[in-house]
Amino acid sequence: MRAGALAFCTGVLLFHGAVTAPYPGWLPAALALMAALLLYRMPPSLHWPVWGLIGFAWTAFLTADLIDRQLALPVGERADVVLDIRVADIPYRNPQRTVFLAVPLRSSDNGWDTLQRTRIRLVWYGDAPEIRPGDHWRLPVRLRPPDGFLNPAGFDYQRWLFVRRIGATGYVRSTASATEPEWRGESASFHQVRERVARAIAVSLDGSPRTGLIQGLAVAVRDGIGGEQWSVLSRTGTGHLLAISGLHIGLVAGLAGTVVAGAWRLWPALAARVPSLIAGGVAAVAAAATYAVLAGFTLPTQRALVMLTVFVTTLLMRCTSNGWHSLTVAAAAVLLIDPLAPLEAGFWLSFGAVATILLSTQNRSTFRFRLLAWLRIQTVISLALLPLLALWFADVPWVSPIANIVAIPVVGFAVVPLVLLGVGLLPASEGLAALCWRGADLVLAALWRFLEIAADLIEMGGDPAGYPWWLLSAAAVGALLLLMPPGWPARSACLMLLGSLAVLPAERVDGERVRVTVFDTGEGFTALVESGGGAVAYGLGPGGGLNGVRVALNPYWERQGRTPDAAVLPGQHDRWSGGVDDFRRRWPDVPVLESAEECAAPQLADWMLHAEGAPAGSGCALTVTGPGGIVRLLPELGGTPADTWTAGLTDGAAGGVAALRSPDGRVWTTREHGALVLELTGDAAEVKTLRRRSGRPFHRHWRWNATESTEAAMPRDGF
């Protein structure tokens, strides 16, 4: 069984690692048929490799099915429809908008019934009416396919939507020609209970800055957690503690199982009929399932519940298998239910933490004091998971071992019990529930002060392009050596190899190279020129909430821990300058060159750059001279002189997308390929695309490329 489970997991992971482009729709069926024939023809002792093929086929089928459920429209197009929907989760509200997840029930427009097979993320701008889970509405909406940007260090919104089975996004129309929204009843939903608990916590804490954290621990409502709070959690590596995760599911299960098993032994008659071990195990699973429902039964809680159920079942059946067998079966069960789980870091961190515990406790002498044993295991987990954090987030919270040693017991044995006790007391007494939540708030206030101090101790290190593979490999070897028994050859080198992640400085392009990055920002233009250790932004578009500063420049520079040297605006239209206000708020001391006169000033004299008035006379153009050629950044792409690379919008202010043109006339667009990176080194020029580096079948860049022939525009090399 273990070999088959391991092969199944390998097949699922192989799909996610190897398949980076669309594939024929008949492929999953062909693979399933092949697996069935092999199972029929091969002896049972050789069936286990076939389960790898089954895992690959199952993941391919589900991926293709979810892509088919997505709204089928060309990129950039929108659809106006009237939908009957059911609100499927607790809405997120702020003064500007209300965001909620909707399940379409039916459409008044012919041809849109396929939307009933997906979920939609809707935004209601302005003064929206009260929307509650389970509500039924008839709404005029404007929909678009699930879309997002592909940028270095940027958030992969398309992956986030795909993993959550969201097939369309949109907003409620409020124009005069639109049908008026109409409330059409409600249906029962456990999300209604979660919303009532969240409201009761908000009333009880009465404006406490930690209200969002308490709500997150109780019912996984994290709308009230502010940006500064998320920053502290990220820098200390404690985000998993203050958002319901596998750790909390395990803590609740362990507490419930211990209490019930201990109480069970007090009644000999009960213990004679049902052993206390079985009673405690059943109580642990029941408590974990209840907590998972309170958390909205999200994918991380489902994964933790499946893992716990497998381990408890193995324990209750008194199987002779070891922990590795249970871990393998749990992983196969999780991937059978959700083969998309490896697309999120939580899957790897959860199973990595359990595997670390098994390795670090195997064939080891135990400490006389349990506290020392716990401190050792927690330190080892924090250090061993550093390579995974570097791989997934391209930065490492070095202070996390210290922060977690303090935070885990405080949250697990003080804050969470008080929060859940308040939830349990709420139906009987709102006053007692409020007392528990205020106690949790006091404990959390002291812990938060410690986390703020810890966050400032050591700066996070990282690289927007991700750590190089050789450095991650060295750190992974260090993590494995750390988990080996004492006396293992070269084990003493583990900390040195793990510490190699800290010695890599943020990448700076030296004077021998020129790098031009054209970011994927939709209908605007934002580029970055790097050389000689400096960086100049060219264009800050488009406008709106998702401008070039927020989706591209800010994440890129935050990951490097740097600031830009200057910004140059190609023109005054939002497509080029829509994010200038955000830029000035973020970097108030950095000069912004807006006009042809300012571009002629000598601010960039120390660079291999030349700023001048744009050909159209409204803004600036930038010329970069590097060892491998010349690059001109213009408001509009225009023609290309010989031996010159050109970057700009394809159609200027009238529309179009950001693009890069080579001297021989080849064109790459961000709509097709994601962010574009031009490297000029020596006599060579190389174009890299983010689609080739991190693209997957669900990314819209592949679907756009499939509808328009761009073979001539394919880059010669990927990342």
> pLDDT at residue 455 above 80?
yes
- Strand stretches in 559-657, DSSP E: 566-568, 592-593, 609-613, 620-626, 629-636, 644-649
Distance of CA 228 to the CA centre of its chain: 18
Distance of CA 12 to the CA centre of its chain: 19
> pLDDT at residue 651 above 70?
yes
112-171 pLDDT per residue, tens: 666 777 899 999 998 888 899 999 999 999 998 888 888 988 888 999 999 999 999 999
The DSSP H or E segment spanning 119 is strand 119-125
Which residue do the tokens 């939580």 mark? 346
> For the chain, what is the mean pLDDT?
83
More confident residue, 682 or 18: 18
> pLDDT at residue 297 above 90?
no
265-283 pLDDT per residue, tens: 888 888 888 888 889 989 9
216-245 pLDDT per residue, tens: 999 988 888 888 888 888 888 888 887 677
The DSSP H or E segment spanning 92 is strand 92-93
Instruction: At 125, list the tokens.
Output: 């701008």
Which residue do the tokens 């995760």 mark? 245
CA dist., res. 148 & res. 93, Å (int) = 22
Q: Please, are residues 23 and 31 in contact by the beta-carbon 8 Å criterion?
A: no
Average pLDDT over residues 287-310: 87
pLDDT of residue 273: 84
Average pLDDT over residues 250-265: 88
pLDDT of residue 511: 61
Lowest mean pLDDT among 180-184, 335-339, 652-656: 652-656
> pLDDT at residue 718 above 70?
no
pLDDT of residue 641: 66
Q: Quickly state the pLDDT bin for 174 (edges 50, 70, 90).
A: confident
Lowest mean pLDDT among 253-262, 477-486, 687-696: 687-696
pLDDT of residue 709: 30
Q: What separation in angstroms does the CA of 251 have from each of 182, 284, 409?
A: 44, 10, 10
54-97 pLDDT per residue, tens: 999 999 999 999 998 888 887 667 888 888 899 999 999 888 88
pLDDT of residue 153: 82
- Strand stretches in 437-486, DSSP E: 461-462
CA dist., res. 475 & res. 660, Å (int) = 36
Please state the three-class secondary structure of 516-575 as a single string. EEECCCCCCCCEEEEECCEEEEECCCCCCCCCHHHHHHHHHHHHHCCCCCEEECCCCCHH
Instruction: At 351, list the tokens.
Output: 């199973």
Average pLDDT over residues 11-18: 94
Global pTM?
Answer: 0.85
> pLDDT at residue 522 above 80?
yes
Cα Dmax for the chain: 93
Distance of CA 690 to the CA centre of its chain: 17
Q: Which of 6-15, 464-473, 586-595, 683-692 is most confident?
A: 6-15
pLDDT of residue 544: 78
Distance of CA 252 to the CA centre of its chain: 26
Q: Please, are residues 676 and 691 in contact by the beta-carbon 8 Å criterion?
A: no
Q: Which of 111-120, 349-358, 371-380 is most confident?
A: 349-358
Burial of residue 451 (CB within 10 Å: 0-12, 13-18, 19+) is buried
Q: What is the DSSP letter of 669?
A: E
SS3 of the chain: helix, strand, coil, percent, to 5: 50, 15, 35
> pLDDT at residue 705 above 70?
no
392-431 pLDDT per residue, tens: 877 778 888 889 889 988 998 899 999 999 999 999 999 9
> pLDDT at residue 456 above 60?
yes
More confident residue, 48 or 372: 48
> pLDDT at residue 466 above 80?
no
Q: What is the DSSP letter of 682?
A: T
pLDDT of residue 64: 92
For 193-232, b where at least 16 C-beta lie within 10 A, e where not — what string?
A: bbbebbebbbebbeebbbbbbbbbbbbbbbebbeeebeeb
CA dist., res. 451 & res. 471, Å (int) = 29
pLDDT of residue 119: 92
More confident residue, 376 or 343: 343
| 124 phi, psi to nearest 5 deg | -115, 105
> pLDDT at residue 717 above 50?
no
Spell out the residues 6+ positions from residue 434 whose beta carbon is closer than 8 angstroms to its own: 200, 203, 204, 422
> pLDDT at residue 341 above 90?
yes
Strands 119-125 and 166-172: parallel
Helix and strand element counts for the chain (H, E): 28, 22
> How many other CB atoms are there within 10 angstroms of residue 80's CB atom?
15
Q: Quickly state the pLDDT bin for 701 (edges 50, 70, 90).
A: low
> pLDDT at residue 614 above 80?
no
